Amino acid sequence: MAALLLGKTHRNLLKSVPEGAPGLLVSLALFTCLLRCAECVKPSNMILIVTDDLDVELGGMYTATPLCCPSRSSILSGKYPHNHMVHNNSLSGNCSSKAWQTGPEMQAFPVYLSKMYYQTFYGGKYLNQYGINETGGVKHVPPGWDQWHVLVGNSQYYNYTLSVNGKAEVHKDNYEKDYLTDLILNRSLNFLDSQSPQHPFFIMLCPPAPHSPWTAAPAYQNNFTDVKAPRDGSFDKPGKDKHWLLRQPVNPMTNSSIDYLDNAFRKRWQTLLSVDDMVEKLVKKLEVMKELDNTFIFFTSDNGYHTGQFSLPIDKRQLYEFDIRLPLLVRGPGIKPNQTLQDPVVNIDLPVTILDIAGVNISTLDMDGQSFLPQLVPSFRNSTSRPDFLVEYTGEGHFTKDPDCPKLGPGVSQCFPDCVCEDAFNNTYACVRTFKDSNFQYCEFADDEAFVEVYNLTADPHQLENIVKKVDPALLEAMNQRLIKLQSCKGESCRQV
């Protein structure tokens, strides 16, 4: 787990509320907007920045699934994976598939924003399989987006194709013309210049950073040369009481694995410096436009990341906090500066919150998440903190042997460096993460051992000890029942205890 970097991002998002706009007044104004009163001139603008693979150590948000395509599908649809049916990063796992396009994508949050007269812009990575020819290629522009500058396929910094409002635009590797993080920022600034002032806007920016191949901008390629991944928490601790995949890694790790992950860690930070610039330039632009006081900015990620935890070199896809816990920074009208919300928030809550801000009647939505606007902005609506949430993950495995790792059998994947595998088809699990009476995580695997892991996060924040054999059987039974209920929940039933 890496500490969140992003100096400028912190400064720009956590700084003071806008001058002349004290919290209470703005929150009253916002409330008035929600009631759509005559004096409400225009609902708030919104910007949502979703980084790729950014972990967090501080408080933050959770993901209902620690992998790009399923998580991004949850952010768009407000649904748990068992309801949007996107289970992995492949087309066959429904990533940007026809089933997605004709189902959840038709009811994703931009569709409702557009009905509320928002002018919408999307820039950067969408879903890992977006733009392939089987599903309509670059011509497919999902409903609700007015401006669409979206990457074909998975995160790249150079040498990629964009769908620009349905037309292919091929990019090479000239920094000034092609660096994707900068390019989507520039396009969003152009979009802001073209705004008609009567309508609110919504911008979603999904930079490739800090995903591999970790290509930093030229100006940042020599930063952080002395930085190493932190050696704290579960770094290089054995995972001997955990599910079978965690019992495989060499412990302690080989020097080559450590060198590899330190290098990845440094390069991840280098790529984030361009994201820092993105946030700063957007905030400055909003200031010049005099829209900063009326704009919510959300900053988050699709999944977490690990560098050496339990001797796993680098990846995500695990049930532990380092992979499911994400950064979430929000600034906007009525939000007090520099406060930390204690209530848990999940990625499926983002679209509901966004639509709540836009003035949509959220109780009409077919979404599993809940709005955290009442927690962000003290309003007349009572807030209800979620008692728990569900994590669902379907493991990915290749059924041909990995030629680079002849000793490994089939069924595993992500076996680099040093043939340590980070995923397998039977790394398929579901967990309930509870907050109300206990700070617990309870997970069941669909593998040959029907393996169970249980953690008391209060006593053991780094999940070093699986207490399944020690914990009161009545508590295990209760968590098993809750898990079963959540795994088939839909809409309202996902929000009820």
Ligand X SMILES: *[C@@H]1O[C@H](CO)[C@@H](O)[C@H](O)[C@H]1NC(C)=O
Q: Which residues bind ligand X (CB under 6 A)?
A: 14, 85, 87-88, 90, 92-94, 99, 103, 131-133, 137, 152, 158-159, 173, 176-179, 182-183, 186, 215, 220, 223, 244, 255, 273, 338, 361, 363-364, 380-382, 396-397, 409, 411-412, 424, 426, 438, 447-449, 456, 458-459
Where does 289-361 have alpha helices with state H?
Answer: 321-324, 349-358
Give the residue carrying structure tokens 């026809």.
Answer: 98
325 φ/ψ angles, rounded to the nearest 5 degrees: -100, 130
Closer residue to ligand X, CB minimum distance, 140 or 306: 140
| 70: exposed, middle or buried (Cβ count in 10 Å: 0-12, 13-18, 19+) | buried
Q: If you write DSSP's letter for every residue of 390-405 in order, what string do you get?
A: EEEE-----SS--TT-
Contact 318, 307 (CB under 8 A): no
Closer residue to ligand X, CB minimum distance, 53 or 182: 182
**Could you tell me whether strands 325-326 and 147-151 are parallel, antiparallel, or unpaired per DSSP bridges?**
unpaired
Please report how close the Cβ of residue 90 comes to ligand X at its closest, in angstroms. Answer: 4
Please report how close the Cβ of residue 220 comes to ligand X at its closest, in angstroms. Answer: 6
Contact 69, 53 (CB under 8 A): no
Locate 127 and state its tokens. 């879903």
Contact 455, 242 (CB under 8 A): no
431 noted as active-site residue: no
Considering 33, 37, 40, 68, which one is annotated as catalytic? 68
- Please give the Cα distance from 210 to 417 (Å, whole number): 18
Please report how close the Cβ of residue 98 comes to ligand X at its closest, in angstroms. Answer: 9
Please report how close the Cβ of residue 193 comes to ligand X at its closest, in angstroms. Answer: 12
- Please give the Cα distance from 83 to 69 (Å, whole number): 14
Classify residue 490 by its DSSP letter.
Answer: -
**Could you tell me whether strands 295-301 and 147-151 are parallel, antiparallel, or unpaired per DSSP bridges?**
unpaired
Locate 186 and state its tokens. 């520039």
Please report how close the Cβ of residue 198 comes to ligand X at its closest, in angstroms. Answer: 24
- Please give the Cα distance from 439 to 191 (Å, whole number): 44
Please report how close the Cβ of residue 416 comes to ligand X at its closest, in angstroms. Answer: 15
Residue from 448, 455, 444, 451 nearest 480 by CA: 444
Closer residue to ligand X, CB minimum distance, 19 or 449: 449
- Please give the Cα distance from 302 to 294 (Å, whole number): 26
Closer residue to ligand X, CB minimum distance, 9 or 196: 9
Closer residue to ligand X, CB minimum distance, 113 or 152: 152
- Give Cα separations from 122 to 49, 147, 320, 384, 438 (angstroms): 10, 6, 31, 31, 39
Closer residue to ligand X, CB minimum distance, 59 or 238: 59
Looking at the DSSP assignment, which residues form a beta bridge with residue 467? Answer: none
Please report how close the Cβ of residue 196 comes to ligand X at its closest, in angstroms. Answer: 23
Closer residue to ligand X, CB minimum distance, 196 or 297: 297
Please report how close the Cβ of residue 450 comes to ligand X at its closest, in angstroms. Answer: 9
- Give Cα separations from 242 to 88, 133, 344, 347, 396 (angstroms): 23, 41, 25, 26, 19
Where does 299-413 have alpha helices with state H?
Answer: 321-324, 349-358, 373-376
Closer residue to ligand X, CB minimum distance, 273 or 483: 273
Catalytic residue list: 68
